[in-house]
């Protein structure tokens, strides 16, 4: 992936974390838009590696260790699949 593609993928990951994953249910409040941005670079690394299980496990770890929530394995796996789909779309130049 080139730098432009990485920036696009990072942006899409940030959007997915906020609007789709959203474990604390804050995506309806624009003032909380940056809440999950600190996790984006870590998730990006696993998405670039195309490791579905590492992505899902990292999302679960964030939920439990950082947020004190129970993990939602099923949702985390679906979000991970979506993130990989975005990676492939960015690589192919699709919107």
Q: How do the domains of the chain map onto residue ranges?
A: 3-92
Cα–Cα distances in Å, from 31 out to 67, 82, 90?
19, 25, 28
pTM of the model as a whole? 0.93
Hey, which CATH number is domain 3-92, 3.40.1130, 2.60.40, 1.10.340, 1.10.10?
1.10.340
Residue 94's pLDDT band (cuts 50, 70, 90): confident
Task: Write out pLDDT tens, residues 12-67.
Answer: 999 999 999 999 999 999 999 999 999 999 999 999 999 999 999 999 999 999 99
């Amino acid at each position: 992936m080139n730098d432009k593609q990485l920036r696009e993928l990072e942006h899409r990951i940030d959007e997915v974390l906020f609007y789709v994953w959203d474990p604390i249910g804050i995506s309806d409040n624009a003032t909380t838009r940056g809440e999950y941005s600190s996790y984006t670079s870590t998730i990006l690394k696993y998405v670039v590696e195309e490791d579905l299980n590492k992505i899902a496990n990292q999302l679960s770890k964030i939920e439990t260790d950082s947020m004190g929530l129970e993990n939602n394995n099923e949702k985390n796996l679906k979000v991970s699949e979506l993130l990989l789909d975005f990676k492939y779309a960015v690589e192919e130049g699709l919107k």
